[in-house]
Chain A
């Protein structure tokens, strides 16, 4: 018991001091990022690489990105503020001016991972992107799909996207504190992490990132407000984080970046 108490205390101390240390890390690195979007670097760190994106940018070929998502990919009635649009803008800013970046969005509304994955072969034939960002999990969590089935579906989907010759980034659920007592996210988060690890593809941890913003008080995600302002700001920050994540995972050094 004594040891456990000690352990708890050590972890607690770490927890208490961590935010301030993280903030210091983040501040000098990204002066252009609005304060509200700040994130500790570990939330955007990934070991997996995006080789095809790197090759395309180095060769000066256009960067074609496809975001496959669901209703939380967009903001009702303001498409241009949603995170795919914001990511496109930031990527254009950060990559060399000659680089052509085009982001298209495919919304699979109310579809589970399995249902979405079924459409991938046709989708990829039509679009043939360099990079696919597949955001999934929410519908499965709402319908409490068997997590094993979910993992199988995500695995199949990722394989289909890779077979079609694209780099893949997985994006998990939103952090939604208001529905936390009704939707059980952890099994789906865990399984997406497992698939990402097995396939060595980057996982954009939208859940942890949004929770970080909520916990640090940058955004009040409990807000019941009906206005689109909060959604716009959050999507702006997600778009920025996602752009940075793609650049880092493709190891596009300063040479390929504008700033």
Chain B
């Protein structure tokens, strides 16, 4: 998708060297401040890479590695990390473009990115169609005649495929990209509003979130139901990410550094961990007051439950506190695989979804069992890493051979995919 994208600058952390030369007189916009160009936030890449790995593992059938994914230790999961970081990086890249080149050009660039994500989504849908068609014709276990009803949509491909192109028919595990497409489409508006008043924008976003809960706003899906990730609710994380990128994080630094924040976060994470424990060790639920259960459940993923959002905030607050930007470990070769994956998120995300399909397929057709499961998970991660490395390498070569002046405005990859 962006593999051959020569307009983009280098994505290699080390070579994304500071290029303050381009610092054209910035259009006066005191409302927001951007971090200096070139300081690539390796923490963002690191955690987005981590989120990509976790999403891949969560898409596979449960196995040993599933116990390492964060959804087992609290309310939020990798999706929150992913959407937040995507908002952050998108605002960082396209916010700068908007300040320097104006609204129209920035919008055009955002739309180009949206198109790439859309094509990626359609590509994944094609793979899904291939898989489900195969299963429909080869699997006739009488134990599962009812579940095979899922194949019914194959009987009317004329409707289904059109609905898929309209993003209304989305099979399982294909919900993140459509959410991301909608959020990116809203990005020019978000940025334009942020340029005016960042805090008001964030407040509006929170208001929309509240309205979603109050008035039950949703995107309808085909054949019925609604989007599994409601964009009206999830935009809050995306806008919050954008707000942090455009100076909000800096302004919050005092709150983040305060020990009160730290202890509240720790207490909340421990409490959330205890609640999740009761899901796996039902005996523990004796110690859980019924009224708390009734107030708390269900913890809704579709509408980004407040408990999930706050859980993410607590995680983020502690991460920012204990993992400083200059932490030398970020340069260590051990974390390179994660960081490289995080730097090519759209490609690696799609690859992850594909590998999860493939993993299911191998488990079903070739062999199952815990050893095979672990092998598939590990090789999937290795493949993601290798692919990210190849993309990095190719970009480096393409950048060298291209005579184009590096555009420090950033590149689509930094803006994050899927």
A residues whose Cβ falls under 8 Å from a Cβ of B: 1, 4, 7-8, 11-12, 15, 42, 45, 70-72, 75-76, 110, 138-139, 142-147, 151, 174, 176-184, 187, 190-191, 194, 197-198, 211, 215, 217, 220-228, 230-231, 234
A residues less than 8 Å from B224 (CB atoms): 143-145
- B225 close to A144 (CB less than 8 A): yes
Are the CB atoms of B67 and A15 closer together than 8 Å?
yes
Q: Is the CB of B67 within 8 A of A8?
A: yes
Give, as a whole number of angstroms, the nearest-CB distance from B128 to chain A: 8
Q: Which among B146, B172, B302 is the interface contact of A182 at CB below 8 angstroms? A: B172
Closest residue to B281 on the A side, CB-wise? A42
When A191-B298, A198-B294 are in contact, do A181 and B141 touch as well, CB less than 8 Å?
no
Q: Whose C-beta in chain A lies nearest to the C-beta of B322?
A: A1
Which residue from A7, A191, A225 sits with its C-beta under 8 Å from B141? A225
Q: Which A residues are CB-close (under 8 A) to B301?
A: 187
Q: How many residues of B are counted as interface, with CB atoms below 8 angstroms from the partner's CB atoms?
A: 53
B140 touches A183 (CB 8 A): no
Q: Bound complex: CA of A119 vs CA of B132, how far in Å?
A: 33
A75-B142, A228-B142, A230-B141 are known contacts. Are A178 and B132 too (CB-CB below 8 A)?
Answer: no
Candidates B72, B73, B147; contact of A176 at CB < 8 Å: B147
Decide if B150 is an interface residue (CB 8 Å cutoff).
Answer: yes
Q: Is B61 an interface residue (CB 8 A)?
A: yes
Task: Write the B120-156 contact mask toward A (1 if CB under 8 angstroms, else 0).
Answer: 0000000000011001001111111111111010000
A181 x B173 contact (CB < 8 A): yes
Closest to B218 in A: A146
Q: How far is the CA of A4 from the CA of B283 in the complex (A)?
A: 23
Residue in chain B with minimal CB distance to A151: B298
Q: How many A-B residue pairs have CB under 8 A?
A: 129
How near does chain B come to A25, taking the closest CB pair, in angstroms?
13
Given known contacts A181-B357, A183-B172, is B221 in contact with A144 (CB within 8 Å)?
A: yes
User: Taking A8-B68, A231-B141 as contacts, is the C-beta distance between A45 and B282 under 8 angstroms?
Assistant: yes
- Bound together, the chains give a CA A45 to CA B283 distance in angstroms of 9
Ordered by A's residue number, 25 sampled pairs between the chains whose C-beta atoms are within 8 Å are A8-B68, A15-B64, A15-B67, A42-B283, A45-B282, A71-B145, A71-B149, A142-B149, A174-B143, A177-B368, A178-B135, A178-B141, A178-B147, A179-B148, A181-B172, A182-B150, A182-B172, A194-B298, A197-B293, A197-B297, A211-B62, A222-B364, A222-B368, A224-B139, A225-B141
Q: Do the beta carbons of B363 and A222 come within 8 Å of each other?
A: yes
Is B228 an interface residue, CB under 8 A from the partner?
yes
Closest beta carbon of chain B to A184's beta carbon, Å:
5
- Determine if A76 and B145 form an interchain contact, defined as CB atoms under 8 angstroms apart: yes
- Give the CA-CA distance A194 to B297 in the complex, in Å: 7
For A224, give its contact among B140, B152, B323 (CB under 8 Å).
B140
Other A-B contacts than A182-B150, A223-B141, 12 sampled, CB-CB below 8 A, are: A15-B64, A42-B282, A72-B147, A76-B145, A142-B152, A144-B228, A174-B147, A178-B141, A179-B150, A182-B135, A182-B172, A183-B150
B14 at the interface (CB under 8 A from A): no
Considering the chains assembled together, what is the distance between the CA atoms of A126 and B26 in angstroms?
A: 79
What 1/0 mask marks residues of chain B from 319 to 335 whose CB sits below 8 Å from any chain A CB?
00011000000000000
Whether the pair B150, A231 counts as a contact (CB closer than 8 A) is no
Contact of A177 with B147 in the complex, beta carbons under 8 Å: no
Q: Once the chains are docked, how many angstroms separate the CA of A142 from the CA of B149?
A: 7
Least distance between A259 CB and chain B CB atoms (Å): 27
B298: chain A residues within 8 A (beta carbon): 147, 151, 190-191, 194
Which residue of B61, B67, B363 is within 8 Å of A11 (Cβ)? B67
What's the Cα separation between A223 and B302 when bound, in Å?
A: 33
Asked if B171 CB lies within 8 Å of chain A CBs, one says yes
Residue of B at shortest CB range from A220? Answer: B368
